[in-house]
Homo-oligomer: A and B are copies of this chain.
Amino acid sequence: MTAKLRRPAMTFTITQLCREFGATARALRYYEDQGLLAPARQGMARVYSYRDRARLQIILNGKRVGLSLAEIRDILSLYGQGDGEVAQNALALRKFRERIVAFERQRQEIDEAIDELRRASARMEQRLAEQQGDRQVA
Protein backbone atom coordinates (compact mmCIF):
# COMPACT_ATOMS: atom_id res chain seq x y z
CA MET A 1 0.00 0.00 0.00
CA THR A 2 2.95 2.27 0.49
CA ALA A 3 4.36 1.00 -2.77
CA LYS A 4 3.66 4.29 -4.43
CA LEU A 5 6.34 5.81 -2.30
CA ARG A 6 8.97 3.36 -3.40
CA ARG A 7 10.32 6.10 -5.58
CA PRO A 8 10.30 9.58 -4.22
CA ALA A 9 7.55 11.30 -6.19
CA MET A 10 10.04 13.95 -7.10
CA THR A 11 9.64 16.26 -10.01
CA PHE A 12 11.99 18.48 -11.95
CA THR A 13 11.90 21.99 -13.17
CA ILE A 14 13.04 22.81 -16.67
CA THR A 15 16.34 24.28 -15.62
CA GLN A 16 17.14 21.30 -13.44
CA LEU A 17 16.80 18.98 -16.38
CA CYS A 18 18.72 21.37 -18.57
CA ARG A 19 21.62 21.43 -16.20
CA GLU A 20 21.53 17.70 -15.65
CA PHE A 21 21.61 16.91 -19.36
CA GLY A 22 23.43 19.92 -20.66
CA ALA A 23 20.54 21.03 -22.80
CA THR A 24 18.82 24.39 -23.14
CA ALA A 25 15.30 25.31 -22.12
CA ARG A 26 14.58 26.28 -25.68
CA ALA A 27 15.44 22.75 -26.77
CA LEU A 28 13.12 21.11 -24.23
CA ARG A 29 10.28 23.39 -25.24
CA TYR A 30 10.97 22.61 -28.85
CA TYR A 31 10.81 18.88 -28.15
CA GLU A 32 7.48 19.54 -26.51
CA ASP A 33 6.24 21.49 -29.54
CA GLN A 34 7.25 18.55 -31.67
CA GLY A 35 5.31 16.16 -29.50
CA LEU A 36 8.22 14.37 -27.86
CA LEU A 37 7.51 15.59 -24.34
CA ALA A 38 4.37 16.56 -22.48
CA PRO A 39 5.23 17.58 -18.94
CA ALA A 40 2.56 18.51 -16.41
CA ARG A 41 1.92 22.08 -15.42
CA GLN A 42 1.79 23.91 -12.17
CA GLY A 43 0.12 27.09 -13.25
CA MET A 44 2.25 28.05 -16.22
CA ALA A 45 5.44 26.33 -15.24
CA ARG A 46 6.37 22.95 -16.60
CA VAL A 47 6.77 20.12 -14.11
CA TYR A 48 8.77 17.16 -15.33
CA SER A 49 8.25 13.72 -13.78
CA TYR A 50 10.71 10.84 -13.69
CA ARG A 51 8.88 9.55 -16.70
CA ASP A 52 9.48 12.77 -18.61
CA ARG A 53 13.08 12.64 -17.54
CA ALA A 54 13.40 9.12 -18.94
CA ARG A 55 11.86 10.29 -22.19
CA LEU A 56 14.34 13.13 -22.37
CA GLN A 57 17.13 10.64 -21.87
CA ILE A 58 15.82 8.63 -24.79
CA ILE A 59 15.60 11.76 -26.91
CA LEU A 60 19.18 12.74 -26.24
CA ASN A 61 20.47 9.22 -26.79
CA GLY A 62 18.57 9.09 -30.06
CA LYS A 63 20.01 12.38 -31.18
CA ARG A 64 23.49 11.26 -30.35
CA VAL A 65 23.21 8.31 -32.69
CA GLY A 66 21.79 10.40 -35.49
CA LEU A 67 18.05 9.83 -35.21
CA SER A 68 15.87 12.75 -36.23
CA LEU A 69 13.39 14.17 -33.77
CA ALA A 70 10.60 12.74 -35.92
CA GLU A 71 12.03 9.24 -35.63
CA ILE A 72 12.51 9.62 -31.92
CA ARG A 73 8.93 10.77 -31.61
CA ASP A 74 7.78 7.63 -33.37
CA ILE A 75 9.66 5.51 -30.90
CA LEU A 76 8.50 7.50 -27.90
CA SER A 77 4.88 7.30 -29.02
CA LEU A 78 5.03 3.64 -28.07
CA TYR A 79 6.69 4.31 -24.76
CA GLY A 80 4.97 2.66 -21.85
CA GLN A 81 1.53 2.05 -23.33
CA GLY A 82 0.54 -1.20 -21.75
CA ASP A 83 2.26 -3.88 -23.81
CA GLY A 84 3.70 -1.22 -26.06
CA GLU A 85 7.14 -2.00 -24.74
CA VAL A 86 7.58 -4.84 -27.16
CA ALA A 87 6.42 -2.72 -30.04
CA GLN A 88 8.64 0.14 -28.90
CA ASN A 89 11.67 -2.07 -28.72
CA ALA A 90 10.92 -3.60 -32.09
CA LEU A 91 10.51 -0.18 -33.66
CA ALA A 92 13.64 1.12 -32.03
CA LEU A 93 15.51 -1.90 -33.32
CA ARG A 94 14.31 -1.23 -36.85
CA LYS A 95 15.29 2.42 -36.63
CA PHE A 96 18.68 1.48 -35.25
CA ARG A 97 19.34 -0.89 -38.11
CA GLU A 98 18.25 1.68 -40.67
CA ARG A 99 20.57 4.17 -39.05
CA ILE A 100 23.45 1.71 -39.16
CA VAL A 101 22.94 1.20 -42.87
CA ALA A 102 22.69 4.93 -43.50
CA PHE A 103 25.81 5.60 -41.45
CA GLU A 104 27.75 2.94 -43.25
CA ARG A 105 26.87 4.43 -46.60
CA GLN A 106 27.81 7.86 -45.33
CA ARG A 107 31.08 6.48 -44.09
CA GLN A 108 31.71 5.00 -47.50
CA GLU A 109 31.15 8.38 -49.12
CA ILE A 110 33.49 10.04 -46.68
CA ASP A 111 36.15 7.46 -47.38
CA GLU A 112 35.85 8.10 -51.08
CA ALA A 113 36.07 11.84 -50.57
CA ILE A 114 39.15 11.38 -48.41
CA ASP A 115 40.77 9.22 -51.06
CA GLU A 116 40.08 11.80 -53.68
CA LEU A 117 41.40 14.57 -51.49
CA ARG A 118 44.57 12.59 -50.87
CA ARG A 119 45.13 12.11 -54.58
CA ALA A 120 44.38 15.76 -55.27
CA SER A 121 46.75 16.82 -52.52
CA ALA A 122 49.49 14.65 -53.95
CA ARG A 123 49.02 16.25 -57.36
CA MET A 124 49.08 19.69 -55.78
CA GLU A 125 52.34 18.95 -54.02
CA GLN A 126 53.81 17.73 -57.25
CA ARG A 127 52.80 20.86 -59.11
CA LEU A 128 53.99 23.09 -56.35
CA ALA A 129 57.34 21.40 -56.46
CA GLU A 130 57.53 21.94 -60.20
CA GLN A 131 56.50 25.55 -59.87
CA GLN A 132 59.14 26.12 -57.27
CA GLY A 133 61.62 24.52 -59.66
CA ASP A 134 60.59 26.93 -62.39
CA ARG A 135 61.28 29.78 -60.07
CA GLN A 136 64.74 28.56 -59.26
CA VAL A 137 65.49 28.16 -62.95
CA ALA A 138 63.97 31.51 -63.87
Contact = CB atoms under 8 A, between A and B. Distances in A.
Quick one: copies of this chain in the complex? Answer: 2
A118 interface: yes
Interface stretch (A4-12, A23-31, A49-57, A101-109): A101-109
A114 B64 CA distance: 11
Nearest to A93: B124
A69 interface: no
A124 B86 CA distance: 10
Interface stretch (A14-22, A32-40, A125-133): A125-133
15 contacts: A64-B116, A65-B113, A65-B117, A65-B120, A86-B132, A89-B127, A92-B120, A93-B124, A93-B125, A96-B117, A99-B113, A100-B117, A103-B114, A103-B117, A106-B110
A127 B103 CA distance: 24
A90 interface: yes
Q: Dominant SS at the A interface?
A: helix
Contacts of A106: 110
Contact of A100 (B92, B93, B118): B118
